Structure formats: structure tokens, C-alpha cells
A and B are shown apart, each in its own frame.
Chain A
Amino acid sequence: MALAELTLSAGEAALLNAFPPTEAGDAARAQIAAEGLPNRRVEAFKWTDLCAALADGIPESDGSAGLIPACLQDALVLDFAPDGFGLEGEKDLGLIIETEDSLELEGAGPLATLAAGFAPRAVVLRVTQSQSRPVVLRRHPGAPMRVRLELDAGARLTLIDTGLATAGLSTGLLEIEIGAGAELVRYSLQNGDTQAIELTHTAVDVADTGRYHAISLMFGGKLARAETHVTLAGEGASCLIHGAYLLSGHTHADMTTKVVHASPNGQTRELFKGAVQDRARGVFQGKILVERAAQKTDARQNHHALMLSEGAEIDAKPELEIYADDVQCAHGNTIGALDDQALFYMRQRGIPEAQAKSLLVEAFVTDVFEAIEHEGVREWFSELARMWLEASSS
């Protein structure tokens, strides 16, 4: 019996031609030729059909990289444009920046392969001592980004990644190694529009007592997916992953995380909150895997979402897989509507309905931002959330 020939969509065919002639580009080409883009029949993509989103080809890029807020004026900015990579701002001691044309892929899955394939080269950041100056990864619409980040033992860095694509396909791959006792604090903003497809894969490996601390805010796009795979490889390693998604119109945002506890005494804190209205769709997939060796693991995962209109959709798949016997793991997942009683109570006190809804939604999502240590970034994210609420309630 002959295997059915894979028929490529216009988008898949266009991708084959779009990858640069690099090893990673060849690998991505081979993957698409063999398997196509992941569609909803692939378990990990059942709610985020990449194949359908790109069925008609690669959309033209539009939009901007967005403004860097005043609170980050001291930052070193790494600028990723479709035609190359640039630097703005001052670089401190203890930060080494190089580019590599060929790097072995650390991430796993179709998104990682795709993002590696698009990037003509990787930017390698090596942090040998703690940085007081934040580093911003600024993505222009349609720009492929690949960043390898290595934090030496005890080093600390604050990383912000942001972009403002309104259309086009943008891919990002971050491969992060956090050394013993080192800490990466990361703030991600995905602020797209209904013609933008934004795919980011982050692979993190954390050594003994190292810490990965990431807070993200997503407004979705035609399709936006942020995958985070963290391996707590060393003893006492920890991660905090918080995310908020605010979706309206026809946008789609997907936060997919996988945390592997591979050693004892690790800690995971996950908190995701979303509010979805109109015909938008929010996806949360969160897996925590505790290996047999990872005794005394302390892991908590929470995802709570609000459906603000009838046509909205939220899909959630929390998963705990535990092979160690002396662990504390808990997860909670709720999807609901705004509390009618609270809404009436506020209106009885004179607060108009739209404003009451805004206040309740803002209150609901902002605890995700409480973990933001950088005051300016916390205010920036909160302000963006407020602007979304104002726009969506008018």
C-alpha cells in the first residue's frame, strides 16, 4: 500500500522557498516537505491550527517594532529587522555578543524548527557578570529572530522582548541556559493585530539554584503562539512563569508551556489569566512533568480566564505528570463569566456598566503583573491592559 502523497498548501509551498540556504533552513524545509505545517489533528496544535493560518501563503509584513518605553531608555536594544540585526545603546562589561551561522538546535517541536530555519544566523549573548542595564529584543514585523543566551554562574540579566507587527509572519527562537545560581528575568510583550502571525519558541535550561522568571502579556494576532519549555535540570532550580492574555475581535493567542523537573528541590510557579471577547480565542496548554529523581518538587499552576462575550472561546489543557513520590503539586483552572452580582453591586453604586466591567477585568488580570519587579515595566504592562479595556468597552 503506497503512502498518500502529502499535498502542500500554498503557504507550505511558499515557506519551502522562504527558508535561507543554511543547515537550519534545510532542516526546516525537510520537515515541512515531510510533515507539512502542524494542523489541528496534531495534539499540541489542536486549538492552534498553524497550517490553516498559513494556508494562503505568507502574509505581507506590516506594522513597526513599537516604541521602547521611557522606563527602558537605559536598555541595550538588539534590533531584529527582516534584513539583519543591529545594536542600539551602550553595552556593559560582562556581556559578550556574537553571531553564529550554524548552531545546533536546542528547542524541540515544529515551531522551534521553523524559527531556527528562518533565522539566517543566531545572535549569541553570553553574560559573564550581572547586568544592571536591561537588554531589549526588538522585533520588526516579519523579522526572524534567533537568540542564544548563556548566563554564567551567579549572573543576572533582565530581558525584554517586544514587537508591534500588524501583519506578516514573525518567528522567534530563544535558547537559554541559566547557570548555577544565575537568574534571568524576562518580560515579553506580544502586541499584534489580526493579520499578524507570531510564533515564538523558548527553550530554557536551568542549573542548580538558577532561576527563570518570566512575565508575558499577549494581545494575540491572526495567530500568536508563545511556547515555553523549561527544564529545571539542576537541584533547587526554579521558575516563575506568569502570563496574561487580552483578546478581542478575531484574534488568537496561545500560551503553551512545559516545565520539566529533572532534579530535587525544584520550584515552579505558574499563573495565567486571560479575558477574551468578541470572536477571539485564547489557548492555554500547561504541562508540568516531575521526573522520578525530582523529589521535593514544589509546583503550582493556575490558569483562570474570563469569557466576556458569547462568541469567544477559551481552551485550556492543564497537565501534571508526576513520577516522584515526595512532591507538592497543585493546579487550578477556571473559565467563567464576569460575576453578575459584583457587576450589579458596582452599578448600584453609580458606576456605569462598561466601566464596572473594565474595573473587574483589570482587577482580575493585574495580579499576573504583580510579579514584575521592574516598576516601569509593570506600569507599562498595566497601562497597555487599561488601554485595551478602554478600547474594548467603548
Chain B
Amino acid sequence: MLNINNLQVEVGGTTIIKGLTLAVPAGEVHAIMGPNGAGKSTLSYALTGRDGYEVVGGTATLNGEDLLDLAPEERAAKGLFLSFQYPLEIPGVPTLTFLRTALNAQRKARGEGEISVPDFMKLSRDVAKKLGVTPEMMKRPLNVGFSGGEKKRMEIYQMALFDPRFMILDETDSGLDIDALKVVSEGVNALRGPDKGMLVITHYQRLLDHIKPDRVHVLAGGRIVDSGGPELALALEADGYDRYKDAA
């Protein structure tokens, strides 16, 4: 599914990711944990093609297709989704307009027809109910005036609506209280599937109580310095990241 080989990424002339290799097979959820400044968000932006995150070496493919030469919107149409740590407010663009525009743009890029307005309304309502997204939220401009929890719910809502093949969740637990965390985690778990993959980026173990990973990797100093099963996350929670200081 997602294959990253010896990836190197520069931001503003500084190398942040220094040769990262990682493979997430279809059907699996992998967690990336690491201290602040390890390059976790840089990895998510480099994979999704944000300007300023310059890949200077290595490869990244999704189902064998090269990602790195594609524009961000082309990667999205290939089924790559990033749930943002800080979802953006888009003033003046109603949520429903935004969602329908994005969904149709993805479908068009894949050579599929536009979704009709009634079909879209039904789809958006069905998904909204499951994630506690209210009709009031849908009427407002995207994320404007939303609480931190509402913004994260809206991210997962979009994830469910667009039905991507590979999902990157960047610090999805930050800013969530325990109830919101449950709702969001249930939403994420419902999107797991045999032909889908997920990369869960988090600083704390807490999220992984709710979204159980198949593998856990430790990112420090721009490299994967340790990998293991879910027990690795528990060990990190107990011991912290100190023992990777030298590795970084």
C-alpha cells in the first residue's frame, strides 16, 4: 500500500526527514510516535505535497504509484487523505459547498461523473449522523467558529465522506476531551478495511487506546529509530522518548 523509501525532506534549507523508510501494507494501521520536533508533521506534509516541504531524496508510492511528482489535489484524488492537526477555517465558503466541490473535483480527476445534489445530500446526511455533525455545522462556513472538538469531528467526517484509500491522522487527539476522543476514534475505526491503510501520528499513547495500531514506529531526529507492536507505545508512555535521544 504505502511505501516510503529513504525519504529526505528539507524545510527552509534545513533537513528534517533524514532517510525515512516505512511500509504500511493494505489493511493495517501504523502509528508514528515521537518527541516534538521529530519531523512527524513534516512527514505528513511531504507526503501530501505541501509547498515548502521539499523532497530532496527517496521515494514514496501508494499502491505502486509515485506520489511525489503529483500536485496535492492529484494525491487527494488518488485516495490520500490528511486529517490536519489544526484544521483550517475557510471563511465565506459554506461547509456543504466546500464538501461537494471537493468530492466532485476528486471524482472528476478519477474520471467518474459528478454526484447529483440529492445523492450528495443523502450521503452527507447519513455520514453526518454517525459522527455527531449537526445540520447547523453544515450550514456555517467551513470550520468557522467551530470548537477544537468540532473541527476534528469535521475532519473525520470529511474522511468518511471522501472514502480515501490511505489516511494520515496528524495529532488527531490534540484538543479533544475524552468524549470527543471516543466519537472521533469510533469514526476512524469504522473506516478501517482490508483494502485501506492508515498512519496515525501522535505524541501520546492515549489515542492508541482507542485506535489500536498493528505496528508502532518511533520517529526521532528525522528517522524511524524503533518499530514494534502495540506494546511499544505502552513502553513509550512509561519511559518517555529519552532513550532515543542518542539515536536522533
Contact = CB atoms under 8 A, between A and B. Distances in A.
Interface residues of B toward A: which range? Answer: 20 to 34
A347 B72 contact: yes
B76 A348 contact: yes
Contacts of B103: 350
Given A344-B72, A355-B105, A350 B84 contact: no
B102 interface: yes
Label chain A's interface by main secondary structure: helix
Interface string A70-89: 00000000000000000000
A140 to B, nearest CB: 36
A341 interface: yes
Given A352-B105, A353-B73, A346 B92 contact: no
B5 to A, nearest CB: 23
A351 B73 contact: yes
Interface in B69-104: 71-73, 75-77, 81-82, 84, 87-93, 97-98, 101-103
B101 A359 contact: yes
Contacts of B97: 359
Interface in A341-394: 341-342, 344-353, 355-356, 359-360, 362-364, 366-367
B101 A351 contact: yes
Nearest to B88: A345
B88 A342 contact: yes
A5 interface: no
A345 B90 contact: yes
A344 B162 contact: no
B48 interface: yes
B106 interface: yes
Contacts of B71: 347, 352-353
B141 interface: yes
B158 interface: yes
A351 B90 CA distance: 13
Contacts of B158: 349
B139 interface: no
Given A340-B51, A349-B102, A351-B105, A359 B77 contact: no
Interface in B103-152: 103, 105-106, 109, 141
B73 A350 contact: yes
Contact of B90 (A342, A347, A353): A342
Contact of A345 (B87, B105, B106, B162): B87
B50 interface: yes
Interface of B: 48-51, 71-73, 75-77, 81-82, 84, 87-93, 97-98, 101-103, 105-106, 109, 141, 158, 162
23 contacts: A342-B89, A345-B87, A346-B90, A346-B102, A347-B72, A347-B73, A348-B48, A348-B81, A349-B158, A349-B162, A350-B73, A350-B76, A350-B77, A350-B106, A350-B162, A351-B73, A351-B101, A351-B102, A353-B71, A359-B101, A363-B90, A363-B91, A363-B92
